[in-house]
Amino acid sequence: MLHGSNEINRLANDLTAAPLKAQRRATTALGKAVKDIEAAAKTLAPVDTGFLRSSISSDVTVRGSAIRGEVGPTANYGAYVEGGTRRQRAQPYLRPATDMIVPRYEDAVAQITEDLL
């Protein structure tokens, strides 16, 4: 139960600040997740010359309330290595890395949500 206008004002301020705090925490969590996926993908990527591995990078962008994370290679043959071709078997590196890290990211987002409620 709230008593007095100071507590009501504090609650109003907390509620007003909640979306920004949540976005900052979500951006941090996504940034960690994409860096972890990048590191795992580099470890899992097959190496011939090392170009594919060295071309894997990650990025997080924020536009308004939208947060976007990307991880992948710039090597033009990265998708062929990941998925295979008629002549070459698949050597997945990005999907397994993502599968390893996403549950931790989902836990972090759940914690952010829980903390806000």
- Statement: the pTM of the whole predicted model exceeds 0.85: no
Q: How many domains does the chain contain in total?
A: 1
Cα separation, 52 vs 36, in Å, equals 17
Q: How many CB atoms lie within 10 A of CB 84?
A: 13
The mean pLDDT value for 56-64 works out to 94
pLDDT value at residue 10: 64
Three-class SS state of 53 = helix
* Cα 21 to the center of its chain, rounded Å: 17
Q: Which range marks the domain in which residue 106 is found?
A: 4-116
Q: DSSP letters of 94-109?
A: HHHHHHHHHHHHHHHH
pLDDT value at residue 5: 67
The mean pLDDT value for 13-23 works out to 71
Task: Tell me the pLDDT of the chain averaged across its residues.
Answer: 89
The mean pLDDT value for 32-54 works out to 97
Cα separation, 42 vs 52, in Å, equals 8
Three-class SS state of 73 = strand
Cα separation, 55 vs 76, in Å, equals 10
Could you report the per-residue pLDDT of 66-75, keeping only the tens digit for each? 899 999 999 9
95 contacts: CB under 8 Å, gap ≥ 6:
82
Could you report the per-residue pLDDT of 76-97, keeping only the tens digit for each? 999 999 999 999 999 999 999 9
User: pLDDT band at residue 21, thresholds of 50, 70 and 90?
Assistant: confident
Q: Is 86 or 113 the better-scoring residue by pLDDT?
A: 86
- What percent of the chain has pLDDT above 90? 71
